[in-house]
Chain A
């Protein structure tokens, strides 16, 4: 069966510090990978998605970036965090089939102070 691992679970970082969140998927090959953010009281916002190694599509211009160095690894980064980057970050995967559902990791609660 497929599993998705996301870490860390919680993170408190000062403004201006860097960020690296990692996500890995097991039990499947060539998944589509996603990063979403959920700010307090708001909906799920799509940040990035990837359909293959090195292929990243950005949905929202901001100070975040994503990379996919391996087939089942997806990394979200920032060089300098802003207060507005606080939120619940969710990694998700699905098979590369148009109508397949998303499966989410447990999420990372990021607080920028």
Chain B
């Protein structure tokens, strides 16, 4: 089982819709979770992070964490064409000092 798994996509949504991106992780002891956005040819940039079960909102973005199910998601409301990118889920391993990344989900928002 891979440590961090994401559907590769592409996930296609129309402009204004809600995009839902999902991520599962294998290590039950993981404590911190991160979402990054990566445009083609660019480096990843941090969107938000979440440590506690439940929802965390930041503007149009909402991260959701369910540690019992080992599941973290990112919702993007009112999706815009500029949101078209690859979204990377990252997990901090319990005993490690580095983040482990999923392969990313490609999101395409059509106008």
Contact = CB atoms under 8 A, between A and B. Distances in A.
A15 interface: no
Nearest to A99: B32
Interface in A71-113: 90, 98-99, 101-107, 109
Given A99-B31, A101-B49, A102-B34, A44 B44 contact: yes
A43 B103 contact: yes
Interface residues of B, number: 22
Interface residues of A, number: 22
Contact of A106 (B31, B43, B92): B43
B14 to A, nearest CB: 26
Contacts, number: 48
Contacts of A65: none
Contacts of A59: 98
B85 to A, nearest CB: 14
B51 A99 contact: yes
Contact of A49 (B90, B98, B104): B98
B109 to A, nearest CB: 21
Given A44-B101, A98-B92, A99-B51, 5 more contacts: A46-B100, A49-B97, A98-B32, A102-B90, A104-B43
Interface of A: 32, 34, 36, 42-44, 46, 49, 51, 57, 59, 90, 98-99, 101-107, 109
Q: Which 8 A-B pairs have the closest CB atoms?
A: A43-B103, A99-B32, A44-B101, A104-B43, A107-B43, A49-B98, A101-B46, A46-B98
